[in-house]
Amino acid sequence: MTDTGARTTYEEDVVDLLLAQHARIEQLFLLVIGGTGDIRREAFDDLVKLLAAHETAEEEVVHPLARGLPGGGGDAMVDERLAEERQAKETLRTLVAGGVDAEGFETGIILLRDAVLTHARYEERHEFPRLRQHVPAEQLRGLAAAVRAAEATAPTRPHPGAQSATANLAMGPALAVIDRIRDAVRKPSEGKR
Amino acid sequence: MFNPLDHKGLPLESQIRNWRELNVEPIDPEAVDPYTRCRIITMNGIEVEAINFQHQFARNCPDQEVRRQLAYVRYVESQQQRVVNWLLPGVASVLETTLGYEQVAVDLTAWVARHEPDPYLKQAYEFGVLEDFDHLYRYANLYEMVERRKAEKIVDGLTEVMPGRPTVQEHRHPFDEVRTPYDRNSVDPRSKLNALTILSAEQQVMFYYMNVGPQYMEPIARQLYQEISLIEQEHVTHYESLVDPGETWWERLLTHEYNECWLYYSFQQQESDPRIKAVWELHLQMELAHLQQAADLLRRHDGREPEEIVGSAGLPEPLTFEPNKEYLRHLLATQIDLTKLGEGYVREAHERFEWMQQQVHDGQQPPSEQVIDLHRDRFGDEYRIETEGPHPVAGLRARGGSHD
């Protein structure tokens, strides 16, 4: 393609977007686990929101698409991923409720990190390649736009005045993000059916 | 200095591991010291060479009793390789392990180049390291494109990421890869260990790339692995030709075992992870017994003492994983435009070099160049980690910026 000299501008698809989120999630885990005080608190707030948005996008987009594709583990594999996500959500809920200063946070956050990152790698190895192989590129790009638009309407970092009230955060803003993403991604994908 | 020839090690009959002992807990990729990963990758390459060498030896050995002895130790070495390589975590991607391989190739070769006493051999390492340095940069750009992550996550600022001798320039005529071997009778024993170590590491890189490359779906990833794996094969030719082909099988076996002792001894000294340190300590004790067996075979079949092969001074200075940034920048500034002709090094693009370039490139852009262009298209710049300032070669500074 480089031989022709004429290149089209590269447009991210939903897999690129989810990969970038995986990378960001890894970085936030590093900040939470390695950080202290406000750095840890802020990173944890960001992590909670990003995880909520990310898992919702995957539940609404990736897994339903992957379920119908040939050549994979089919329902069983998707169900495994969903079970992992449910488990991670439980751990996350406990951590959010207790806050970063709670006893057991150190252990809990490592458990959560291992679960989330292992889950992410499974997707990268088994689901994402099949999406790219079987789903039209245009559709994957359209889904990226939908997920991005939904996320953009919610700040991923709390405003300075409203920061750090982890009790406040307890799933409130995160749930709002989830709703927006659901709305945004359901519309185009339902339209195509 | 520690002399492995003075130690008996762990009795051979106590060296077979059971399933529980083989089932090692991998390192945590999110918290590992990058140089712990490097030590694991290095020792895997060393054990793979030990296995392959002993298979070749067995195929060339008519003595059934020796073949049985080799088979036993080879089985133990195989279990050692399984333990060492299985320390790598399943959650790491192929490209992440690849970045680890290139970090090894850079910092291991740079250390050996700095410590090699023979000037001709030193030149061979200085020449080679600038090429692996370039591979790290190409794969780092691929990594960000394919996995959306930054190589910083793997190399952690210990090794810089920027162009070396451009991979496009590394495709030389195979005739020019063949070096002059050292003389086994007069060479410093340290040089034998250096050559075997780098040869083993590069050989493992070649095996890895030529096998994992096709697992990728992305065309640029498949093509880049294909290209760089061919350079790694050149490197194997380059380094293996440094070794005196007149060494007897018995002599080579002894050098292999002695080298394993040197490396496990080195790594147990510097290992930051106590659990991994215990593996290096155990393996050193196992290798000491393999060395005893090799020494006995040498005495019996070659009529020589092991000291005649590896000296009597004990192990050389421990091989160390450490940053080599200044040294590499010096090499970049002074040797970037070297190529090879015959058994030496030249600066001009000679006829045979041009012929090979024409055959391979044939007017097309190689994947190693495409990967940087594609990265620029997608991200507007290229990926580099330049912690010590701009690239020492003005012509290799980033066009239109870079980020890390």
Q: Who's near A46: CB < 8 A, 6+ residues apart?
A: A28, A156, A157
Inter-chain contact A10–B377, Cβ cutoff 8 Å?
yes
Strand partners, B341: B344
Q: Who's near B220: CB < 8 A, 6+ residues apart?
A: B142, B145, B146, B367, B370, B371, B374
Token reading at B213 = 């490359």
Residues of A with CB under 8 A from a CB of B: 1-3, 7, 9-10, 16, 19-20, 22-23, 26, 29-30, 33, 113, 117-118, 121, 124-125, 129, 132-133
Single out the residue of B281, B324, B108 nearest to residue B197, CA to CA: B108
Q: Are B95 and B143 in contact (CB under 8 A)?
A: yes
Give the domain ranges of chain A: 13-183
Instruction: Give, for all 404 residues of chain B, the pLDDT tens digit.
Output: 899 999 999 999 999 999 999 999 999 999 999 999 999 999 999 999 999 999 999 999 999 999 999 999 999 999 999 999 999 999 999 999 999 999 999 999 999 999 999 999 999 999 999 999 999 999 999 999 999 999 999 999 999 999 999 999 999 999 999 999 999 999 999 999 999 999 999 999 999 999 999 999 899 999 999 999 999 999 999 999 999 999 999 999 999 999 999 999 999 999 999 999 999 999 999 999 999 999 999 999 999 999 999 999 999 999 999 999 999 999 999 999 999 999 999 998 999 999 999 999 999 999 999 999 999 999 999 999 999 999 999 999 987 555 65
Question: Which burial class, exposed, middle or buried, applies to B25 when counting CB atoms under 10 A from its CB (0-12, 13-18, 19+)?
Answer: exposed
| Residues of chain A positioned with their CB less than 8 A from the CB of B365 | 2-3
| Residues of chain B positioned with their CB less than 8 A from the CB of A84 | none
For residue B247, the enclosing domain spans 4-403
Inter-chain contact A133–B217, Cβ cutoff 8 Å?
yes
Inter-chain contact A23–B377, Cβ cutoff 8 Å?
no
End-to-end CA gap in chain A: 33
Single out the residue of A34, A9, A7 nearest to residue A141, CA to CA: A9
Residue B161 is given by DSSP the state: B
Look-up: residue for tokens 């500034």? B333
Token reading at B211 = 């096998």
Number of independent structural domains in chain B: 1
Alpha carbon of A166: minimum distance to chain B alpha carbons (Å): 25
Question: Which burial class, exposed, middle or buried, applies to B335 when counting CB atoms under 10 A from its CB (0-12, 13-18, 19+)?
Answer: middle
Distances (CA, A) of B364 to B169, B361, B370: 13, 5, 10
HSE at residue A63, side-chain half, CA atoms within 13 A, is 21
CA distance B181 to B246: 10
Q: Which residue from A3, A7, A19 is facing B147, i.e. has the nearest CB?
A: A19
